[in-house]
Amino acid sequence: MKRILIFTLVLSYFVGNAQNIELLYNGNVVGDTLEIEVENLLTRNDIYIDIVNLSTRPVDVKVRKTELSILEGTENSFCFGTYCFETNESHVAFTIPAQDTFSQATQGTNAFHITYMPFNQIGISYIRYTFFNELFPEDSAAFVAKLVTSPTSNIITMATTEIAIYPNPAHTDWVTFSFNNTPLNNPNLAIINAKGQLIYSRSVSQAENRVKIDISHFPAGIYFGLLENKGTIYASQKFIIQ
């Protein structure tokens, strides 16, 4: 009798919580596919999704990512709470109170968001995100993010300046940045990492056509060197530190 009662209570909880997770983007319910025109080709894009708990009980939510088709040369991850995940599933669950919304309005940058770095690649990536109740995974909501980059996506204008970085891949403590047609308005030489974070910046005069930088304190990984000034990217080049 006791086992039957426990099973009945668990079944009642499951049925009462089935399909109690709802997803919103810009205030609208997310359907099976969410098409997003990516704004920035060279810099990080954060796409926030609100998670709604429709039930009368708190729900511990985890997220699973499935890469269906990824545009070559791009990077993606997702952030939830104070964590960012490059893996396919969040290793921790986040509790959403009964009939509450986990959103950017209430959580700020701790709200769930997709991070997408196109690195100047033109095309489409398809990624499925599944949000599920940790206790009852069948209680879930999912959508496919269609992330579109096109030449009109880029709010940054490009010019004719070229940049070369060597050695590339870099396995020494120094790399050299070489430019031709350095712009007249003394741009900045900036280095960003694969997460879109600025890790180095210095001004470059028109007279300079070569700059040597100490990278001994940079972790191994993918980086981008940029010549930029006030939102205008004059040149960009990917390089790898081994």
Question: Domain with 127 in it: what CATH number?
Answer: 2.60.40.10
Chosen domain end from 126, 153, 180:
153
Does 7 lie in the same domain as 94? Answer: yes
Are 61 and 132 in the same domain? yes
Q: For the chain, what is the domain count?
A: 2
pLDDT of residue 81: 86
Domain identity same for 210 and 128: no
User: What is the rounded CA–CA span in Å between residue 193 and residue 197?
Assistant: 6
Same domain for 53 and 111?
A: yes
The parent domain of residue 138 ranges over 2-153
Residues 17 and 132 in one domain: yes
State residue 6's pLDDT score: 41
Does one domain contain both 145 and 173? no
Clarify whether residues 111 and 171 are in a common domain. Answer: no
Per-residue pLDDT tens digits for 198-207: 889 998 887 7
* Overall pTM surpassing 0.85 (yes/no): no
Residue 160, pLDDT score: 60
109 and 228 housed in the same domain: no
The reply to whether 125 and 167 lie within a common domain is no
Task: Please give the Cα distance from 74 to 67 (Å, whole number).
Answer: 12
Domain boundary among 127, 153, 179: 153
Dump pLDDT digits (tens) for 15-52.
Answer: 444 589 999 999 999 999 999 999 887 778 999 999 99
* CATH code of the domain containing 213: 2.60.40.3080
Query: What is the model's pLDDT at position 186?
Result: 77
Same domain, 58 and 136: yes
User: What integer pLDDT is reported at residue 208 of this predicted model?
Assistant: 82
Return averaged pLDDT per consecutive 10 residues of the chain, 242 residues in all: 43 56 96 91 88 96 96 90 88 94 93 89 91 94 92 51 87 90 75 80 85 93 82 78 91
Residue ending a domain, choose from 136, 153, 170: 153
Question: Is 53 in the same domain as 119?
Answer: yes
Bridge-based pairing state of the strands 113-117 and 75-80: antiparallel
Amino acid at 161: T
67 and 183 assigned to the same domain: no
